[in-house]
């Protein structure tokens, strides 16, 4: 029996979205013929092809660019051309740029179309009210198209339902077997003082300014940023070490030797790095925003903070009192139960099957 073809369009194939796409594409490739039309970002691994199964087909989109520009018109027609070449049974658009262009490029009548935002652009807190309104309007108008939005967290789904009733959500999932195979040969260091770390692009979203203020307050503690970005000059505190971009294997091995995962993001979708840290039984201290607060229950499986004082209070408490094993075990159990990449792939497969049956 010939496999049904699924075509992903992914403009933002970097960071957590890259991990998500590889997990989902590989998981679906057992049942579907998966094509990934993509653009790379600075944080995309150089050997990104090696992360995909051999039977996942990769197609580079020349005109996908992060910022809005005239290139978007070319990208629009390039997407249509790729679709004509692949002849998919399902189209799945990932992130805002592909989501906007794709919902207008494809009418969803003959081929079911799905869209996953991975964090709505209008939730960004570093943009002007005019841009917030513009992005929200774009999403609102595009949501009228014949497309179902599949959010990657409960909070994102609640935002989606403000635009359309064609809304589903499937929680992000991490590949636990892969993580186990990477860290099982890594000896866990016992640090005299807790080492605080984060993983990701040094960008406004991840709030390096706040990360730096927290580090400045705890001068005797070591802070580590695994990743890089244009705002690295904001990390000025002498107790911060910037590790630069690492492979997935290297990043997980480093994370396994640290103690507290700090994620002071201004906005999120549902961060893969947070799920990975919880699975590795790290103390997770995160900002109280959509995505983070859909995973973390304060003082139960991690800690949520609203401002600098909250972070100082939580980290001071960890230094003085330590952390209960129950909290760490609860965090890992929650991830195993709800955020498994195998479960994620099966949930998407079920949605695709239903759409194909209805067609």
Say if CB 259 and CB 196 are below 8 A apart: yes
pLDDT tens-digit readout, 164-205:
999 999 988 999 999 999 998 777 777 789 999 999 999 999
Predicted confidence (pLDDT) per residue in 313-328, tens digit: 999 999 888 888 999 9
Find the mean pLDDT for residues 87-91: 98
Strand 303-305 and strand 283-287: the pairing is parallel
pLDDT at 66: 72
Say if residue 129's pLDDT is above 90: no
- In degrees rounded to 5, what are phi and psi of residue 197? -140, 165
Fold assignment, 176-338: Rossmann fold (3.40.50)
Q: Do the domains at 5-173+340-358 and 176-338 have one common CATH topology?
A: yes
Q: Is residue 148 over pLDDT 90?
A: yes
**Quick check: 122 and 200 in contact, CB under 8 A?**
no
How many C-alpha atoms does 152 have within 13 Å on its Cβ side? 29
What are the residue boundaries of the structural domains of the chain, listed by start? 5-173+340-358, 176-338
* Residue 197 DSSP SS3: strand
Give the separation between CA 44 and CA 24, rounded to whole angstroms: 17
pLDDT given for residue 119 in this prediction: 80
pLDDT at residue 310, rounded to an integer: 98
Residue 163: how many other CB atoms lie within 10 Å: 17
Contact between 88 and 6 under an 8 Å Cβ cutoff? The reply is yes
The CATH class that applies to domain 5-173+340-358 reads alpha beta
For the ranges 131-140, 178-187, 329-338, the one whose mean pLDDT is highest? 329-338
Q: Which residues contact 244 (CB under 8 A, 6 or more apart)?
A: 227, 228
Strand partners, 225: 198, 242
C-alpha to C-alpha distance for 269 and 277, rounded to whole angstroms: 16
pTM of the predicted model, to two decimals? 0.82
pLDDT band, residue 236 (cuts 50/70/90): very high
Residue 67 reports pLDDT greater than 80: no
Res 114: pLDDT: 98
Spatial contact of 64 and 39, defined as CB atoms under 8 Å apart: yes
294, 333 Cβ separation under 8 angstroms: no
Residues whose CB falls within 8 Å of the CB of residue 44, separated by 6 or more in sequence, listed in order: 13, 14, 18
Rounded percentage of the chain residues whose pLDDT exceeds 70: 99
CA torsion angle 254 22 211 278 (round to 10): -70
Residue 103 pLDDT: 96
- 197 has which bridge partners? 224, 261
Q: What is the CA radius of gyration of the chain?
A: 20
Element (H, E) at 327: helix 325-338
Beta carbons of 304 and 292 less than 8 angstroms apart: yes
As a whole number of angstroms, the distance between CA 352 and CA 28 comes to 10
Annotate 110-171 with DSSP letters as a single string. Answer: SS-EEEE-SS-GGG-SSS-HHHHHHHHHHHHHHTTSS-EEEESSHHHHHHHTTT-S-EEE--
Nearest to 303 by CA among 285, 323, 320, 327: 285
| β-strand pairing of 240-244 with 196-199 | unpaired
* H or E element at residue 179: helix 176-183
Q: Which H helix or E strand runs over 57?
A: strand 57-60
Residue 90 to residue 232: CA distance in whole angstroms: 40
Distance CA 16, CA 28 (A): 18
């Amino acid at each position: 029996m010939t496999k049904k073809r699924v075509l992903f369009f992914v403009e933002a194939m970097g960071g957590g979205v890259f991990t998500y796409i590889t997990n989902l594409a590989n998981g679906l490739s057992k049942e579907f013929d998966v094509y990934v039309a993509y653009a790379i970002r600075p944080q995309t691994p150089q050997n990104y092809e090696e992360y995909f199964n051999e039977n996942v087909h990769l197609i580079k989109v020349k005109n996908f660019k992060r910022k809005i520009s005239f290139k978007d018109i070319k990208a629009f027609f390039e997407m249509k051309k790729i679709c004509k070449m692949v002849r998919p049974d399902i189209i799945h658009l990932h992130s805002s740029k592909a989501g906007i262009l794709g919902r207008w490029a494809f009418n969803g009548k003959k081929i079911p179309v799905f869209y996953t935002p991975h964090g709505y652009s209008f939730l960004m807190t570093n943009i002007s009210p005019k841009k917030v309104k513009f992005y929200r309007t774009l999403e609102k108008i595009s949501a009228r198209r014949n497309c179902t939005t599949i959010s990657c967290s409960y909070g994102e789904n609640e935002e989606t339902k403000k635009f359309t009733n064609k809304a589903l959500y499937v929680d992000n999932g991490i590949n636990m077997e892969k993580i186990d195979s990477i860290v099982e040969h890594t000896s866990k260091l016992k640090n005299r003082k807790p080492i605080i770390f984060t993983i990701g692009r040094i960008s406004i979203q991840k709030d390096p300014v706040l990360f730096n203020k927290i580090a400045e307050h705890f001068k005797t503690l070591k802070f580590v940023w695994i990743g890089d970005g244009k705002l690295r000059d904001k990390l000025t505190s002498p107790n911060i070490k910037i590790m630069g971009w690492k492979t997935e294997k290297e990043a997980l091995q480093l994370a396994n030797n640290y103690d507290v995962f700090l994620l002071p993001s201004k906005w999120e979708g549902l961060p893969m790095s947070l799920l990975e840290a919880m699975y590795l039984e790290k103390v997770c201290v995160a900002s109280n925003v959509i995505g983070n607060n859909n995973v973390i229950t304060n003082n139960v499986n991690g800690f949520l903070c609203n401002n600098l004082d909250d972070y100082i209070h939580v980290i001071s408490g960890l230094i003085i009192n330590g952390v209960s094993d129950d909290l760490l075990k609860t965090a890992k159990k929650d991830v195993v139960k709800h955020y498994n990449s195998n479960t994620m792939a099966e949930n998407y497969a079920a949605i695709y099957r239903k759409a194909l049956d209805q067609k």
